[in-house]
Amino acid sequence: SWTMLNIVEDSVEAVRRQVGEGRAICALSGGVDSAVAAAIVQRAIGDRLTCVFVDHGLLRKGEAEQVERDFVAATGVKLRVVDASERFLKALEGVTDPEEKRKIIGREFIRVFEDEQRAIMADGPVEFLVQGTLYPDVVESGGGTGTANIKSHHNVGGLPEDLEFTLVEPLRALFKDEVRRAGEELGLPAAMVWRQPFPGPGLGIRIVGAVTRDRLAILREADAIAREELSRAGLDRQIWQCPVVLLADVRSVGVQGDGRTYGHPVVLRPVTSEDAMTADWARVPYDVLSRISTRITNEVREINRVVVDVTSKPPGTIEWE
């Protein structure tokens, strides 16, 4: 739209003024906020922005490709991709406690990102860090901004102990729906622009039990089927999000194909919500649930039972971990 075009153009101009001849880096998560922020900064300063995508191996089916291929094609952004899945899996080995998982994933992410920063700074200084902070985040945190200190864990090659950046936050005045419209205006892939909320720790907190490569592969398939059927039923805008959770340490007896199986259940957790603070379980039509269940148990050999979570928030959180 005309007004959205103006908002995007003003924002590009503001970034150009702020960054001048400087350089910037931005971490892409696969989500809409970091993507739109990066696209705006790219328009403003071109190749003086370097994006970093840390693939922690905990994303859903197709999401890494969306960033690496579709987003780059749509924006021309300069991107460094780090396949860090091995490293994350190793760090998560045997860990079952949800908060412990979150801590490990956050810590590893920072370490990998810092290694990339160092590599990028070998070509010259980088003064700016791009963040997809939205207006509601600004209000929540009391409005403060300015700089970010990223701690240096392994102080190699004479780099300063702390790398200090000035923040570039092109979405600070926008609400989520405006960010999505800006994303459309910028020509970003629809799957990114309209992506429902997905936690940073990804599928790592949707496996109840230890995270392994095999378990991730199973959950990724089941999740893709659920998303496809909900989407096909036209429920994307009505449902806030629908985590699919693998109960990896639970087994039950089933009969699939030509014999008895002893497989795992997945939980469907479709919810409606305004802001994720409270939520209700979504009344997904039975025929849609039925299609999801039939397809998952037919197409994912290791899963022989599909259950639906009918708990509101509170008392249940949206995620299981």
- Per CB under 6 A, the list member of 183, 189, 199, 263 interacting with ligand XMP is 199
- Per CB under 6 A, the list member of 78, 80, 87, 102 interacting with ligand XMP is 102
On whether 35 is known to bind a ligand per the annotation, the reply is yes
Q: Of residues 214-243, which lie at the interface with ligand XMP (CB under 6 A)?
A: 241
- Per CB under 6 A, the list member of 235, 276, 288, 308 interacting with ligand XMP is 276
- Per CB under 6 A, the list member of 22, 62, 197, 209 interacting with ligand XMP is 197
Q: How far is the CB of 200 from ligand XMP (least distance, A)?
A: 4
Q: CA 316, CA 314: separation in Å to the nearest integer? A: 5
DSSP-assigned letter for residue 47: G
From the list 1-9, 46-54, 196-204, 248-256, the region that binds ligand XMP by CB under 6 A is 196-204
78 binds ligand XMP (CB under 6 A): no
Q: How far is CA 162 from CA 50, 149, 159, in A?
A: 20, 6, 8
First-to-last CA distance in the chain?
Answer: 40
28 binds ligand XMP (CB under 6 A): no
On whether 32 is known to bind a ligand per the annotation, the reply is yes
On whether 33 is known to bind a ligand per the annotation, the reply is yes
| Long-range Cβ pairs for the range 112-117 (8 Å, 24+) | 112/54, 112/82, 112/84, 112/87, 113/27, 113/52, 113/54, 113/150, 114/150, 114/152, 114/153, 114/163, 115/82, 116/25, 116/52, 116/54, 116/80, 116/82, 117/25, 117/52, 117/150, 117/163
Residue numbers in the known binding site for ATP are 29-35
List interacting residues with ligand XMP (CB under 6 A).
102, 197, 199-201, 241, 276, 313, 317-319
